[in-house]
């Protein structure tokens, strides 16, 4: 197998110099792969994605040690905007959209690359993936439903032409129908565009259909890693981490 | 009476420009900039240096002032406020106070403290509007400048991609950075626009009175009043705020004499804090608990 | 003991210190206080007195800025309040000095209440705005009062007397001020360790946590601002009596910023740092002009510097505030702590605490 798109080695993330949220994590994500991270609340999943996608200078979080490589290039500890330049785009857990901007403005806020024609093309393509956007163009994004906000966040991320798209808790707080919609969209992204995904998800039922590999996170480290099918079917996961009936 | 109203309107235009500078910086950069007064004066003195001391041609004066002020904005962000990223709001406010002190010292060192008269672009200052109602050309120019700045700002923030990105970064700078927006350049732009509006206000005020650091500085600080009345982060709120302050100051001077000019705006501030601290258009920021 | 009390009290138990170390700090301070008047000339001692008065204000400001993390621009206004209170009480009404001092404390507290009450219902920065308004309104009011009462030269105050003892020499002022400053220092230190101090710092560092523990943010913030205002007003009365004149031109916004510079340079939240910061800010002009005097007198730069000393002060205070905020938010106090751990390995343990 060729070199992974994302290589994480011994990544340690801490807040305010104090508490360690991610402790020496190793992770590989290959091109075209869908990688799932599971774990209880506070396990450090969000911190892992933030450690890869970068913290802004105004935040308390820091990558304390370890390495993050994208296509072999060392990008450890770079701020989010630089990571976007390297093709790593995160749809964060909270605040996925600019609430005071309209849906259309949310999309225009994304600094797209390429010439005018290709930008137009990408925009049309993304909008056709999420048809609701066309009807809601002039609505402030704060007034969208939770599911629509999630999709708008993903749409905005797609305009940045990600090589690796990270989505944190896509289904959190959504109705079952909305969860279905979001995962159908993710599924079609993977199927049609071969998108590489790194997702954090508690809803195992929804994630099962698209995940290739899975990692179970417990207090900042991976307790279990492997092919998604094996990990998700393992009795240990079903009982301990997911609380499903065996 | 009518001439008083005209005077109030002319003053309101200047307050609107100053208030705009306060609000813009508060909103995009998240800074309550207590150095606004000093920066207003600095802008006017730079203009005066090019216009009066060096006697440059007017287009050069205007462009040179603009370029200098924009450069100062960029330096202010990269040298000071970028380094303070992540510190509590408290530290940012204190830093603006330190900046105000340093700028005052620099200005006084360079240009002294006496009042100056600036070189004028046109003659015939007084314009008769109606019988017995007159204003200066600079009063009218100030009104026009305020209208232009507000209209341009409205169009810029609503229709231009850069303006939309500035609003995005103002709402959530972390998400903006995650969305690929160059937040630092947004902040530089915020400083540049705010300082430009401040300089225009300072220059207009200096033409209507005289140019002295003390006078322009005090005006710039009082400009927090229209910003506060409008809610500190609402650009459209500045306009009614400026009208209220312009009227309060004009009629305060009429009723209580010239020294009321120094306090009218501050009294309005205390009243606003007492009855409606979030202003007319601000979101409620009262701390729960 | 509730969880709140536990959390708040938790920091109180400190490991027992070796007696030597425990008394080393206060001992050194006591020694310094006793030695200063012996080695300094009258003029130098009067500078120390100015620094002591400033230290009172800086200590007070530390409470609201350092402990609670609020910005106030009203320091010059509160100093003016105390000074004009002294002028009215001492010069116009002929009240005895101690009565005047108590009066200015009460007046300062009251004005703090009035200015802080509306502002502190809202988020912290509104206090900066309200105190800015306070500054301009107070200066305006006293200017009007002064113009009507005595004219632009200002007020002249009688010599302060306490129970028949006239405070009429630099040395006597030194003794009085040293006692007052030491007492205030002790009080501020105790305040910091009290239930109030811990609540204040919790509000400063984690307002949400403080609120979730049922700490009323606005009440605690207001109490800090009132205490601070009362003390600054009192120091204004000392300033007026020690100089024996009061005029409005000395109470500028730049003066207010100077006091902020003392707190920032000294180290936010450190009472000892505030005193060091006050000494630094007050002595800086003298040190600067001494340094300039060392330059060859025919040098153009020397003359230029000497003539514009005031402007250089403004530039230096402002720059130092910004530099310390960026580089060392813990100020001289933090710098001293860092140096002592570097050079005195034995103290490393205690500094870590
Ligand atoms: N901004 C922050 N400041 C301080 N600690 C944080 C912050 N964000 C997360 N943490 C801590 O890091 C740990 C991991 O949190 P997180 O990564 O959000 O977990 P998860 O996403 O798995 O729920 C938790 O103990 C949490 O308290
Ligand atoms: Mg999470």
Shortest distance, CA B80 to any CA of chain A (angstroms):
14
pLDDT at residue C337 is higher than 60:
yes
Give the max Cα distance, chain A: 54
Q: How many CA atoms lie within 13 A of C101 on its CB side?
A: 15
Section A134-157 average pLDDT: 94
Task: Identify the domain containing residue C314 by its residue range.
Answer: 40-352
Indicate the range of B64-78, B171-185, B270-284 predicted with least confidence.
B270-284
pLDDT at residue C1 is higher than 70:
no
Chain-chain contact of B285 with C122 (C-beta, under 8 angstroms)? yes
d(CA A42, CA B239): 47
Q: Which ligand is nearest to the CA of A168?
A: 2
CATH classification of the domain holding A16: 3.40.50.300
In a domain, A112, yes or no: no
Chosen for mutation from B37, B96, B101 (greatest number of chain C CBs closer than 10 Å) is B101
pLDDT in tens, A147-196: 999 999 999 999 999 999 999 998 888 888 989 988 998 998 888 888 99
Using a pLDDT cut of 70, give the percent of chain C over it. 90
Q: Spell out which residues of chain A touch residue B29, defining contact as CB-CB under 8 Å.
A: none
Average pLDDT for chain B: 92
Q: What value of ipTM does the predicted structure carry?
A: 0.94
The radius of gyration of chain A's CA atoms, rounded to the nearest angstrom, is 18
pLDDT at residue A1 is higher than 70:
no
Average pLDDT for chain C: 87
Task: Read off the pLDDT band of A241 (50, 70, 90).
Answer: low
pLDDT in tens, B116-132: 999 988 876 777 777 77
Q: What is the CATH number of domain B2-120+136-275?
A: 1.10.3470
Query: How close is the Cα of A94 to the center of ligand 2, in Å?
Result: 9
Question: In sequence order, what are the residues at sequence separation of 6 or more whose Cβ sits closer than 8 angstroms to the Cβ of residue A39?
Answer: A45, A216, A217, A218, A241
d(CA C25, CA C185): 13
B/C interface, count of CB pairs below 8 Å: 152
What token pair was written down for C221?
């913030």
Q: Spell out which residues of chain C touch residue B80, defining contact as CB-CB under 8 Å.
A: 322, 326
The DSSP output letter for B258 is G
Torsion of CA C246, C249, C251, C256, to 10 degrees: -150
State in Å, rounded, how far the first CA of chain A is from the last one.
Answer: 35
Tokens 């006496």 belong to which residue?
Answer: B114
Residue B284 has what pLDDT?
Answer: 53
Shortest distance, CA B96 to any CA of chain C (angstroms):
8
Mutate to test the pocket of ligand 1, among A44, A223, A241 (most ligand atoms within 8 A of CB): A44
Chain-chain contact of A80 with B86 (C-beta, under 8 angstroms)? no
Tokens 């079609």 belong to which residue?
Answer: A188
Task: Read off the pLDDT band of A240 (50, 70, 90).
Answer: low
Using a pLDDT cut of 90, give the percent of chain C over it. 59
What token pair was written down for C19?
């007696």
Domain boundaries, chain B: 2-120+136-275
Chain-chain contact of C317 with B98 (C-beta, under 8 angstroms)? yes
Chain-chain contact of C133 with B108 (C-beta, under 8 angstroms)? no
Average pLDDT for chain A: 91
In a domain, A142, yes or no: no
Section B232-241 average pLDDT: 93
CA B56 vs CA B52, B53, B61, B107, B120: distances in Å: 8, 8, 6, 21, 12
Q: Give chain C's domain count.
A: 1
Is the backbone of residue B279 left (phi > 0), alpha (psi -120 to 50) or beta? left
Section C67-93 average pLDDT: 94
In a domain, A132, yes or no: no
Q: Which ligand is nearest to the CA of A37?
A: 1
CATH classification of the domain holding C329: 1.10.3470
pLDDT at residue C16 is higher than 70:
no
Residue B282 has what pLDDT?
Answer: 67
The DSSP output letter for A171 is T
Q: What count of other Cβ atoms lies within 10 Å of the Cβ of residue A94?
A: 11
User: Ligand 1: which atom is nearest the Cα of residue A47?
Assistant: 17
Q: Give chain A's domain count.
A: 1
In a domain, C179, yes or no: yes
Torsion of CA C339, C340, C346, C352, to 10 degrees: -80
Section B30-51 average pLDDT: 97
Mutate to test the pocket of ligand 1, among A38, A39, A47 (most ligand atoms within 8 A of CB): A47
pLDDT at residue A242 is higher than 80:
no
């Amino acid at each position: 197998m060729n070199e992974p798109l994302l290589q994480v080695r011994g990544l340690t993330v801490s807040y305010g110099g104090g508490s360690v949220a991610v402790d020496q994590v190793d992770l590989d994500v290959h091109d075209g792969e869908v990688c799932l991270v599971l774990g209880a609340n506070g396990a450090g999943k969000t911190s892992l994605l933030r450690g890869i996608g970068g913290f802004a200078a105004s935040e308390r979080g820091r990558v304390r040690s370890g390495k993050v490589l994208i296509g072999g290039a060392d990008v450890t500890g770079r701020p989010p905007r630089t990571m976007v330049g390297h093709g790593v785009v995160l749809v964060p857990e909270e605040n996925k959209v600019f609430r005071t901007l309209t849906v259309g403005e949310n999309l225009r806020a994304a600094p797209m690359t390429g010439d005018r024609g290709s930008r137009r093309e990408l925009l049309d393509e993304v909008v056709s993936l999420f048809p609701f956007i066309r009807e809601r163009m002039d609505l402030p994004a704060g007034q969208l439903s939770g599911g629509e906000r999630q999709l708008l966040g993903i749409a905005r991320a797609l305009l940045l032409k990600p090589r690796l798209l990270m989505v944190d808790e896509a289904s959190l707080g959504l109705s079952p129908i909305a969860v279905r919609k979001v995962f159908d969209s993710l599924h079609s992204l993977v199927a049609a565009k071969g998108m590489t995904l790194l997702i954090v998800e508690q809803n195992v039922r929804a994630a099962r259909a698209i995940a290739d590999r899975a990692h179970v996170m417990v207090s900042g480290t991976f307790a279990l890693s492997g092919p998604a099918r094996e990990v998700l079917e393992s009795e240990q996961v079903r009982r301990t981490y997911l609380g499903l009936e065996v | 009476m009518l001439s008083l109203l005209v005077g109030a309107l002319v003053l309101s235009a200047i307050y609107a420009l100053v208030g705009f500078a306060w609000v813009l910086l508060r909103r995009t950069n998240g800074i309550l900039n207590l150095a606004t007064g000093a920066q207003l004066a600095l802008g006017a003195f730079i203009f005066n240096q090019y216009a009066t001391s060096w006697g440059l041609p007017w287009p050069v004066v205007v462009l040179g002032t603009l370029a200098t002020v924009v450069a100062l904005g960029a330096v202010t962000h990269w040298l000071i406020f970028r380094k303070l990223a992540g510190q509590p709001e408290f530290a940012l406010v204190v830093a603006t106070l330190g900046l105000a002190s340093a700028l005052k010292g620099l200005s006084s060192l360079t240009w002294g403290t006496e009042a100056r008269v600036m070189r004028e672009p046109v003659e015939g200052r007084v314009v008769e509007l109606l019988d017995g109602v007159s204003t200066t050309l600079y009063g009218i120019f100030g009104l026009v400048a305020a209208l232009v700045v507000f209209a341009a700002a409205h169009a810029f923030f609503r229709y231009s991609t850069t303006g939309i990105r500035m609003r995005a970064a103002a709402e959530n700078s972390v998400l903006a950075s995650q969305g690929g927006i160059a937040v630092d350049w947004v902040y530089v732009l915020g400083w540049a626009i705010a300082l430009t509006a401040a300089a225009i206000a300072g220059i207009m005020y200096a033409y209507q009175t005289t140019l002295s650091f003390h006078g322009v500085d005090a005006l710039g600080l009082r400009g927090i009043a229209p910003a506060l009345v409008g809610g500190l982060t609402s650009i459209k709120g500045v306009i009614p705020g400026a009208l209220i302050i312009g009227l309060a100051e004009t009629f305060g001077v009429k009723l209580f004499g010239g020294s009321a000019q120094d306090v009218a705006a501050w009294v309005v501030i205390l009243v606003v804090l007492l009855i409606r601290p979030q202003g007319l258009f601000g979101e409620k920021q009262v701390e729960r608990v | 003991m509730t969880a709140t009390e536990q959390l708040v009290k938790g920091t109180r138990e400190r490991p027992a210190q070796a007696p030597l170390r425990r008394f080393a700090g206060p001992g050194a301070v006591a020694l310094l206080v006793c030695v200063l008047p012996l080695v300094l000339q009258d003029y130098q001692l009067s500078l120390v007195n100015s620094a002591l008065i400033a230290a009172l204000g800086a200590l007070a400001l530390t409470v609201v800025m350092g402990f609670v993390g609020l910005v106030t621009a009203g320091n010059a206004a509160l100093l003016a309040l105390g000074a004009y209170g002294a002028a009215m009480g001492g010069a116009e009404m002929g009240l005895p000095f101690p009565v005047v001092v108590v009066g200015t404390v009460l007046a300062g507290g009251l004005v703090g209440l009035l200015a802080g009450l509306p502002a502190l219902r809202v988020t912290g920065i509104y206090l900066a705005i309200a105190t800015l308004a306070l500054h301009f309104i107070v200066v305006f009011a006293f200017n009007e009062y002064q113009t009507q009462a005595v004219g632009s030269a200002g007020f002249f105050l009688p010599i302060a007397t306490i129970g028949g003892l006239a405070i009429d020499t630099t040395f006597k002022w030194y003794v009085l001020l040293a006692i007052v400053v030491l007492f205030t220092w002790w009080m501020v230190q105790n305040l910091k360790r009290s239930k109030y101090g811990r609540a204040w710092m919790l509000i400063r560092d984690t307002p949400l946590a403080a609120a979730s523990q049922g700490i009323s943010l606005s009440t605690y913030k207001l109490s800090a601002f009132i205490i601070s205002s009362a003390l600054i007003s009192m120091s204004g009365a000392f300033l007026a009596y020690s100089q024996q004149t009061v005029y409005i031109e000395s109470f500028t916004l730049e003066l207010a910023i100077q006091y902020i510079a003392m707190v920032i340079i000294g180290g936010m939240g450190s009472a000892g740092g505030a005193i060091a910061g006050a000494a630094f800010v007050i002595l800086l002009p003298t040190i600067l002009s001494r340094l300039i005097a060392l330059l060859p007198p025919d040098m153009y730069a020397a003359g230029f510097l000497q003539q514009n000393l005031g402007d250089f002060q403004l530039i230096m205070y402002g720059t130092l505030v910004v530099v310390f905020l960026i580089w060392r938010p813990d100020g001289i106090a933090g710098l001293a702590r860092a140096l002592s751990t570097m050079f005195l390995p034995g103290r490393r343990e205690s500094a870590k605490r």
